[in-house]
């Protein structure tokens, strides 16, 4: 089992080993148990990437097509998914699986990713994880190459690491970007049960302050979060401190019993 500090060290080490030149991303191809839940026809570039129809994937729980189009005016139904290596959490319901998060990886340049994205003719480039915000300081490198009529998206958990306000300010200036802020628990117990990790609430709220103090186009998702007192307290705090409109596009995600979850969890 890997903890947050180990995960950050691992990624820093991998980044340091990247060859010099244009930005290289440590990408985990679609592999291992996660293939149990991926339509082989959705694999792209021999499984290095995949495509996804957000209207039908996972039974259609994702509201991203409507939210993304609402915020950008650009069609957002079909995603080109890049799976970045590593995650500081260990969610028991993780359909990416330890294979996809910590399995074999390859380095791919921003330019190469964009070429594959354009060829795929998808609407949205999704830098997924793992925990893609571990690479947040480099998001601008790929976002700058996304065509103006396409959308860039990625995910924040507020617990990956201390966010850099300068990095967020840089992302602020980039249009046609939509971010999901994934909340995976609102009490110590709920967070631990949903992620396998203890939460640092100080880090969580400091990062919350930084994104709220920005013009990032984001929405909240609540994964397996109980609709009770803790959620109400969270909603009240967000409304009071930042404005209720910040919650207007939020939605809940229930646990889906993916086939991958029925297989043993150890990395192969
Ligand atoms: S945060 Fe996502 S990738 Fe990481 S363990 Fe949880 S579900 Fe898997």
- Mean pLDDT by runs of 10 across the 268 residues of the chain is 62 61 88 90 96 82 92 96 96 92 94 96 96 96 95 97 95 93 98 97 98 94 96 98 95 84 63
Cα 120 to ligand 1 centroid, rounded to whole Å? 25
Q: Is 260 in the pocket of ligand 1 (CB under 6 A)?
A: no
Residue nearest to atom 7 of ligand 1 (CA): 94
Ligand 1 atom with the smallest distance to the CA of 182 is 1
pLDDT at 1: 45
Ligand 1, residues 92, 105, 129, 160: which to mutate, most atoms within 8 A of Cβ? 129
The top-level CATH class assigned to 4-256 is: alpha beta
pLDDT at 110: 95
Ligand 1, residues 131, 182, 184, 192: which to mutate, most atoms within 8 A of Cβ? 131
CB 186 within 8 A of CB 235: no
Residue nearest to atom 3 of ligand 1 (CA): 130
- List phi, psi (to 5°) of 252: -100, 145
CB 218 within 8 A of CB 64: no
Ligand 1, residues 94, 157, 225: which to mutate, most atoms within 8 A of Cβ? 94
Residue nearest to atom 8 of ligand 1 (CA): 94
pLDDT at 199: 97
Nearest to 172 by CA among 220, 128, 121, 210: 210
Q: Is 134 in the pocket of ligand 1 (CB under 6 A)?
A: no
Ligand 1 atom with the smallest distance to the CA of 88 is 4
Exposed/middle/buried for residue 41 (C-beta within 10 Å: 0-12, 13-18, 19+)? exposed
* Strand-strand pairing, 49-53 and 218-223: unpaired
Ligand 1 atom with the smallest distance to the CA of 97 is 8
- Token pair, residue 157, equals 């958990």
């Amino acid at each position: 089992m890997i903890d947050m500090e180990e995960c950050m060290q691992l990624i820093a080490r991998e980044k340091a080993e990247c060859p010099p030149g244009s930005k290289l991303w440590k990408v985990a191809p679609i592999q291992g148990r996660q293939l149990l839940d991926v339509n082989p026809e959705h694999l792209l570039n021999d499984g290095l990437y995949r495509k996804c129809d957000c209207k039908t994937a996972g039974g259609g729980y994702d509201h991203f097509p409507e939210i993304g189009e609402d915020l950008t005016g650009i069609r957002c139904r079909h995603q080109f998914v890049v799976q970045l290596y590593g995650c500081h959490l260990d969610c028991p319901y993780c359909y990416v699986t330890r294979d996809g998060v910590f399995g074999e990886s390859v380095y791919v340049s921003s330019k190469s990713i964009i070429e594959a994205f354009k060829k795929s003719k998808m609407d949205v480039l999704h830098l997924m994880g793992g925990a893609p915000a571990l690479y947040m300081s480099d998001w601008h490198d790929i976002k700058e190459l996304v065509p103006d009529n396409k959308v860039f998206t990625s995910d924040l958990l507020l617990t990956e690491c201390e966010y850099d306000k300068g990095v967020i300010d840089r992302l602020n200036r980039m249009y046609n970007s939509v971010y999901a802020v994934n909340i995976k628990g609102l009490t110590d117990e709920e967070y631990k049960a949903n992620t396998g990790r203890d939460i640092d609430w100080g880090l969580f709220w400091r990062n919350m302050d930084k994104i709220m103090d920005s013009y990032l186009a984001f929405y909240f998702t609540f994964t397996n979060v109980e609709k009770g007192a803790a959620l109400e307290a969270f909603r009240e705090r967000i409304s009071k401190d930042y404005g209720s409109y910040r919650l207007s596009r939020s939605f809940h995600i229930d646990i889906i019993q993916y086939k991958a979850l029925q297989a043993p969890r150890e990395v192969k």
